[in-house]
Chains A and B, each alone.
Chain A
Amino acid sequence: MKTFITAVAAIAFAGAMAVDTKTAMAEDGPTLKAVKARGEVICGVHQGRYGFAIADSQGKWKGLDVDFCRAVAAATLGDSEKVKYIPLGSVQRFPALQSGEVDMLSRTTTITLTRDSALGLNFGPPTFYTGTGFMVRKSIGATTVDQMAGAAICVFPGSTTEKNIASLFKSKGMKFTPVVIESSKQLVGAYMSGRCDVLAMDQAGLPGHQQYDAKKPADHLIIPGVYSKEPLGIGVRAGDDQWFDIIKWVTHATFNAEEWGVSSKNVDSMLKTKDPNVKRLLGASADLGKKLGLDKQWAYRIIKQVGNYGEIYESNWGPPLSLARGINNLWTNGGLMYGFPMK
């Protein structure tokens, strides 16, 4: 009976099994093994948020979250196109990851204590920093949160935003009416049709809706300032340390590449550089990939096929969204992006 249970569990939750850290270094962990056997990384993404993950008319996915899925595929499988995207609602995203439906969750997910612990997940370093922001119709005449008493606010269910607004309004002694819809299209549609006075979500999500979903973008105003801390990171199942390490160092590789001036354009010439950091990163002098269960050129491929963090940011948040980098800049430029030593 017990073996039967284990067998069924192993099928249902392939890759979810806890693996001893030491053996993971020696051989592939369950997630990497499954990914290699499948020849494809299954990545949970947002159903549609400009700048993070959105499918174009040809069904090709684009966005910052999407680029990190591609980076992981480039590192593990050698081809950034070997990704299967699973669009997930805010409510389905954690069960999808826990059950093994997706290998990684790159879906504007805020890192919180509860999610890291009680949900049985691990989070890589933040790939984007943002905070709760508000967009209003200019005609209602509110320019600050203090003028929003009694407003109807459209918000995603189960998001950190939902809790943030509740405590923000409570602290100001104001009331509001939440309109909670899970489908991105329905929620934004409710705001655009005038059902809500205010659209609340991570501030970085707002410019896209203003540019692409509003009939006249100029009729809407994004209230300056953020009202919470929302570090967004890539989630993986707890228990597979090797896969967690890969996610972590893929992210750091993109930060470091930008800091050291390695981009998709100059990466080939950089192979011959004298800079020891860059040599190690690109696998010209040391074999860092082996320690992660990958090959020598894992980081080279990330930069060649996807780009460094600066390039990823620019391609997704450059014009027409034109979101200033702000705290998402490198630490050397006054931001929070700080690549750990790759030694």
Chain B
Amino acid sequence: MISAAVPLSCAGGGDFSLIHFFLLSDNMASSEDSATEKLTAPDRVTPKGDTSIFNSMAFRGIAYQVLLAAFVILGGLYLYINVNANLERQGIATGWSFFNENAGFDIGESPIEYDSEDSYGFALWVGVLNTLRVAFVGIILATILGVFMGIARTSRNWLLSKVANVYVEICRNVPVVLHVLFWATVVRFLPHPKQAITPFDGAFLMNRGIVFPIPNEHPAYIWVGVAFVLGVIGAIFLGRWAQRWREMTGQYIPTFLWGCVIVIGLPLAAWLVQGAPLTWNVPALRGFNFQGGMALSPEYAALVVGVTVYTAAFIAEIVRAGIQSVPHGQIEAARALGLRPRFIMHYVTMPQALRVIVPPTASQYLSLTKNSSLGVLIGYPDLVNIGNTTLNQTGQAVEAIAIMMIVYLSISLAISTFMNLYNRLVAIKER
């Protein structure tokens, strides 16, 4: 277990030496360049008196790049021609016209209104949204659980750190497929709708998923939403101002407390001002199933829990490694200054740990997103599931797979762009 942490913290610590190395070698290279120029000019003279172009570093650099580019392009072209030739030989129709054709199949759950008479393109879009729904919620939950478990592992509380330890070892050493299948099976053994478990009034837990009441729509909620956004913006500004104030005067303002007050208080006030409208849309058993309220399907629940529990175990290790990468002297120094443990975590440990934590966590987010494609195994209508149905009904294998690849690539690139920006934010600034 310790050995697992060492390479991670090394990688973090290695950043510095790596940068150092590049800086040094850069200097060396440039000095060497000028040196070699002086030296080689008289040394490598051809009989005619001019230097061969193949000895020019610039030329060779460009030549290699051109060769590589040509190789890649030709390779791609070859594959493209090959696929086309074979498809044509076998009489398989190609093209994207199926995109606008009537899909003709239904989808179990969709965040937007979908009908079997909509097009294949729209059905695939529903799949994309369903995938995003899992990825987004999964990333948030995995981060919360992972950070908690990571901190728990470094805790001085023996029981807490052992529990976290067992969790990490069990969850990261079991393939994610089994996690997903396991939770799908667990959910299926819940009771039937008629004997549903009622954790609190109006909510039902059963093998058809979880249904719970949601407030009925009301025009006042728009203003509550606006107030919430304003509250968040206000809290950010408050934090900035409080930091400047602290740096100027040394006075500490409890921003977290005041931030909460603004973020929660503003919408609450907006709601109260408009007469506190509230009616509930309570689910009720009608026919085979519950109608009304908000419903989460068992497949969605199983998939989110499966990928979250799996990924959080990795994030926990990353967080632990990050925390342990901060030299102990830093914390001792902070204690010597009389900082409270909370402030030590916030102002000393975390800023230094984050630069170690963020890059590997980004790749965990990416793998979580891609692992959400396992929904196809348990019947969750994600992109791969709907893509499979489309592929099979239209026979457009190359196109359907290409779409899936492009979508996953786009989602992954978006996540890594966002995480790179965040990484730049938390990286140690060199002044």
Contacts and interface: CB of A to CB of B under 8 A. Distances in A.
Interface string B50-82: 000000000000000000000000000010011
A111 interface: no
A207 interface: no
Contacts of A167: 104, 116
A13 B90 contact: yes
B92 A98 contact: yes
Contacts of A190: 188, 379
A194 B89 contact: no
Contacts of B104: 163, 166-167
Interface of A: 1, 5, 8-9, 12-13, 16-18, 90-91, 94-95, 98, 114-115, 117-120, 140, 148-152, 154, 157-159, 162-163, 165-167, 169-170, 176-183, 186-187, 189-190, 193-195, 197, 237-239
Contacts of B385: 157, 180
Contact of B376 (A119, A182, A194): A182
A159 B104 CA distance: 11
A179 B379 contact: yes
A94 B92 CA distance: 11
4 smallest CB-CB distances across A and B, nearest first, come from A158-B392, A181-B379, A166-B116, A120-B91
A95 B377 contact: no
A16 B288 contact: no
Interface in B273-292: 286-289, 291
Contacts of A169: 106
A239 B86 CA distance: 12
A165 B86 CA distance: 35
Given A152-B289, A157-B388, 8 more contacts: A5-B81, A9-B85, A94-B392, A118-B395, A151-B288, A178-B105, A193-B188, A195-B298
Nearest to B191: A194
Contacts of A193: 188-189, 207
Interface residues of B, number: 46
A16 B90 contact: yes
Interface string B370-382: 0000001111010
Contacts of A17: 89
B405 to A, nearest CB: 16
A18 to B, nearest CB: 6
Of the listed residues B106, B116, B208, B389, the one surrounded by the most CB atoms of chain A closer than 10 A to its CB is B106
A194 B108 contact: no
13 contacts: A9-B82, A94-B392, A163-B393, A170-B117, A177-B109, A178-B107, A179-B299, A179-B379, A180-B381, A182-B376, A194-B192, A195-B298, A238-B91
Contact of A178 (B106, B188, B287, B392): B106
Interface of B: 78, 81-82, 85-87, 89-93, 104-109, 116-117, 188-189, 192, 207-208, 286-289, 291, 298-299, 376-379, 381, 385, 388-395, 397
B89 A16 contact: yes
B86 A12 contact: yes
B376 A195 contact: no
A115 B78 CA distance: 28
Nearest to A158: B392
B90 A237 contact: yes
Nearest to B181: A186
A94 B395 contact: yes
A13 B391 CA distance: 20
B393 A195 contact: no
Contacts of B208: 152, 195
A178 B207 contact: no
A150 B106 contact: no
A120 B89 CA distance: 9
A5 B394 CA distance: 27
B86 A13 contact: yes
Given A165-B106, A186-B378, A197-B288, A8 B82 contact: yes
A176 B106 contact: yes
A158 B390 CA distance: 7
B421 to A, nearest CB: 37
Contacts of A187: 379
